């Protein structure tokens, strides 16, 4: 039996191989967080003020607003098509920026550069939508771990790109942009072959197989932690020779590829157990999932009734139904307070570092990425564990992340020596928790049927938050401080440059904290119900259907 038979759409091994390819896509789709690595090159080449540069970074995030198209498409076209659209957009958007920074073409007019930056930003929404929607539906009993792993690797992608570029190209901005254009396109083309929505009834999957999922997720978590620690060691050990850098790059790629061991193990195990992998189609639908005409009529009746009445929280909501609920807007604005302030720091790390006297800010970009990974992957596992054991509402962990971010803003506002190191770590962790936990919270509130569109509506907070906190707040206040400096100009040096920005974002973090606590209180009954269902899954092996 060939590879297609071993890893077919409805095989258990095929489902896990899809998750592995999703991890690879996430490992290269965090290019939106790498703006600080080449922003100074754009600023000097195009002669931009800080406000213009911040607006350019905001345009990059505005590209995410068009993720609504990806959300609509996720329920209508195959996953492969969504991945291909994202890869083409990234190739064009970052390719144009590479042509400018590498001096292969003259600097484009500002408005044209905005278009290509927007395209690059929008490319990630197609990749993320394809990955998250497909995997959340394939692993609906383990939404927390899946979200943590996928969001964790996208958090690591900034450090992966940054460190690979440092190892291979000595942090050259032109080479970095070329990687952003070409690498995601190649990975998405490969993932399009295997990342597909599968049936939720796997003929070879027993209750014991379902329990084994926790061990497989444990392996993925361990592999991700090893990658994160490996990247961190590379960052803190200083400069490296050419040979050592190449060896680092080779080992890093091998570590990223290591999760493929899980689907290979499942395929071999199933082949030994059954003699061969039996696809759902090969066994016949009547043999695997017998559905009587009575059952079909019941399902149709349920669908008709669902259209006549407003769904309860926890059931499938379309966009209009979700938008009519108070909980949706609490989640929306709490998300804005978390990701908006986090994006402002990420987008301005280059200028924050220069203001505090650091000529090379790549270490802070990597620290934010790596510790953001620990926040993402840790919160996915921890929130799932406490929900299963004690029915703890997931939004509690979002509230905790807001406290961490508020402390980080206070530290950076004081601007003592080493403050940027501590602030980067705290804000990275908090931002990572927020991104990972909100993904399953939205699915548990409003179901998975229309999840692609609902997720992309929430993601509108990235461009909105970037515009408010980065484009307007940080850009305006920075330029005001730079103008007051001796001699004027568009460069500000000193802890005062961003102090008021950090104070305002600290206040926003406390607003987000209050909203998260309110949402956790309102969702107590829902999470107790989910807690009971998960106990039933563990005891019987039955799958959660909503």
DSSP string of 3-43, one letter each residue: HHHHT-TTSHHHHHHHHHHHHHHHHH--GGGGGGGTHHHHH
CA 109, distance to chain mean position in Å, is 31
CA 84, distance to chain mean position in Å, is 18
**Count of residues in the chain:** 546
Task: Indicate the pLDDT class of residue 74, thresholds 50, 70 and 90.
Answer: confident
Sorted by sequence, the CB contacts under 8 Å of residue 382 that are 6+ apart come out as: 397
What DSSP designation does 311 have?
P
Beta carbons of 232 and 154 less than 8 angstroms apart: no
* CA separation for the pair 426, 414 (Å, rounded): 15
**Which tokens sit at 371?**
């510790």
pLDDT at position 10: 66
Beta carbons of 443 and 451 less than 8 angstroms apart: yes
pLDDT higher than 90, residue 396: yes
Q: Alpha helices of 170-292 — where are they, by DSSP H?
A: 173-191, 207-236, 242-257, 261-274, 280-283, 285-288
Share of the chain above pLDDT 90, in %: 21
What DSSP designation does 77 have?
S
State the DSSP H helix or E strand holding residue 176, giving kind and residue range, or none if neither: helix 173-191
- Axis crossing angle, helix 39-46 with helix 50-62, rounded to the nearest 10: 120
Beta carbons of 17 and 437 less than 8 angstroms apart: no
pLDDT higher than 70, residue 448: yes
- Axis crossing angle, helix 362-390 with helix 207-236, rounded to the nearest 10: 150
Q: What is the pLDDT of residues 153-182, one digit of tens each?
A: 887 887 787 788 777 877 788 888 888 889
Instruction: Name the residue among 237, 231, 190, 200 with its Cα closest to residue 15.
Output: 200
- Axis crossing angle, helix 524-540 with helix 362-390, rounded to the nearest 10: 80
Collapsed DSSP state (helix, strand, coil) of residue 238: coil
Beta carbons of 98 and 181 less than 8 angstroms apart: yes
Beta carbons of 141 and 448 less than 8 angstroms apart: no
First to last CA, the chain: 35
Beta carbons of 516 and 334 less than 8 angstroms apart: yes
- Phi/psi of residue 357, nearest 5 degrees: 95, 15
Q: Say what the pTM is.
A: 0.75
* CA separation for the pair 154, 469 (Å, rounded): 22
- Phi/psi of residue 123, nearest 5 degrees: -60, -35
Sorted by sequence, the CB contacts under 8 Å of residue 35 that are 6+ apart come out as: 57, 60, 346, 347, 350
Q: What is the pLDDT of residues 484-513, one digit of tens each?
A: 654 555 678 888 888 899 999 999 999 999
Q: What is the pLDDT of residues 429-446, one digit of tens each?
A: 999 899 889 988 998 999
What DSSP designation does 78 have?
-
Q: What is the pLDDT of residues 108-166, one digit of tens each?
A: 888 998 899 888 888 888 998 899 889 888 888 788 888 888 888 887 887 787 788 77
Integer CA distances (angstroms), 334 to 461, 515, 523, in order: 10, 6, 15
Share of the chain above pLDDT 70, in %: 85
Beta carbons of 126 and 89 less than 8 angstroms apart: yes
What's the mean pLDDT when you consider all of the chain?
Answer: 81
What region, left, alpha or beta, does residue 284 occupy, with left being phi > 0 and alpha being psi -120 to 50 degrees? left
In 3-state terms, the chain is what percent helix, strand and coil (to 5)?
80, 0, 20
pLDDT at position 25: 92
Half-sphere exposure of 168 (CA within 13 A, CB side): 16
- Phi/psi of residue 171, nearest 5 degrees: 60, 30
Beta carbons of 28 and 157 less than 8 angstroms apart: yes
Q: Which residues pair with 313 in a beta bridge?
A: 315
Q: How many helices (H) and strands (E) does the chain have?
A: 25, 0
Among 198-207, 290-299, 521-530, the minimum mean pLDDT is found in 290-299
pLDDT at position 300: 54
* CA separation for the pair 473, 470 (Å, rounded): 6
* CA separation for the pair 381, 149 (Å, rounded): 9
* CA separation for the pair 319, 303 (Å, rounded): 17
* CA separation for the pair 204, 234 (Å, rounded): 42
Q: By CB neighbour count within 10 A (0-12 exposed, 13-18 middle, 19+ buried), where does 262 fall?
A: buried
Rounded average pLDDT over 4-9? 59
What region, left, alpha or beta, does residue 387 occupy, with left being phi > 0 and alpha being psi -120 to 50 degrees? alpha
Tokens 């770590």 identify what position?
425
Q: Which residues pair with 338 in a beta bridge?
A: none
């Amino acid at each position: 039996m060939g590879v297609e038979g071993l890893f077919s759409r409805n095989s258990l091994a095929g489902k896990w191989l899809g998750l592995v390819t999703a991890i690879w896509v996430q490992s290269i789709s965090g290019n939106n967080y790498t703006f600080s690595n080449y922003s100074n090159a754009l600023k000097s080449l195009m002669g931009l003020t800080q406000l213009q540069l911040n607006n350019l970074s905001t345009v990059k995030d505005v590209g995410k607003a068009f993720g609504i198209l990806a959300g609509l498409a996720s329920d209508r076209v195959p996953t492969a098509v969504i991945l291909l659209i994202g890869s083409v957009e990234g190739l064009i958007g970052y390719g144009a920026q590479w042509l400018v920074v590498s001096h292969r073409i003259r600097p484009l007019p500002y408005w044209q550069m905005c278009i290509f930056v927007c395209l690059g930003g929008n490319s990630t929404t197609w990749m993320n939508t394809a990955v998250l929607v497909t995997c959340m539906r394939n692993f609906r009993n383990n939404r927390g771990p899946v979200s943590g792993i996928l969001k964790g690797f996208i958090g690591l992608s900034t450090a992966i790109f940054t460190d690979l570029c440092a190892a291979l190209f000595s942090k050259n901005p032109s080479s970095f942009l070329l990687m952003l254009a070409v690498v995601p396109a190649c990975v998405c083309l490969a993932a399009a072959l295997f990342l597909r929505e599968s049936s939720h009834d796997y003929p070879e999957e027993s209750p014991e197989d379902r329990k084994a999922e926790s061990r497989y997720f444990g392996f993925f978590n361990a592999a991700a932690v090893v990658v994160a620690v490996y990247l961190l060691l590379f960052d803190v050990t200083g400069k490296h020779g050419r040979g050592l850098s190449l060896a680092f790059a080779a080992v890093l790629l091998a570590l990223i590829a290591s999760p493929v061991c899980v689907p290979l193990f499942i395929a071999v195990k199933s082949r030994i157990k059954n003699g061969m992998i039996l696809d759902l189609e090969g066994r016949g639908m009547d043999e695997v999932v017998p559905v009587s005409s009575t059952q079909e009529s019941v399902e149709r009746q349920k669908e008709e009734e669902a259209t006549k009445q407003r769904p309860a929280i926890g059931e499938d909501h379309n966009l209009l139904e979700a938008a009519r609920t108070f909980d949706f807007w609490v989640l929306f604005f709490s998300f804005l307070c978390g990701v908006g302030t986090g994006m402002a720091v990420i987008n301005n790390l280059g200028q924050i570092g220069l203001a505090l006297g650091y000529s090379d800010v790549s270490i802070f970009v990597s620290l934010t990425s790596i510790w953001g990974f620990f926040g993402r992957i840790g919160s996915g596992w921890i929130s799932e564990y406490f929900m299963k054991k004690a029915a703890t509402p997931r939004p509690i962990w979002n509230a905790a992340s807001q406290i961490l971010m508020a402390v980080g803003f206070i530290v950076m506002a004081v601007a003592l020596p080493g403050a940027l190191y501590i602030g980067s770590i705290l804000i990275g962790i908090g931002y990572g928790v927020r991104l990972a936990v909100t993904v399953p919270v939205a699915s548990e509130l409003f179901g998975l049927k229309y999840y692609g569109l609902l997720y992309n509506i929430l993601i509108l907070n990235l461009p909105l938050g970037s515009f408010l906190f980065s484009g307007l707040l940080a850009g305006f206040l920075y330029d005001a401080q730079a103008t007051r400096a001796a001699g004027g100009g568009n460069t500000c040096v000193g802890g005062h440059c961003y102090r008021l920005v950090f104070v305002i974002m600290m206040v926003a973090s406390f607003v987000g904290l209050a909203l998260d606590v309110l949402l956790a209180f309102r969702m107590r009954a829902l999470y107790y119900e989910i807690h009971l269902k998960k106990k039933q899954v563990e005891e019987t092996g039955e799958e959660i259907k909503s």
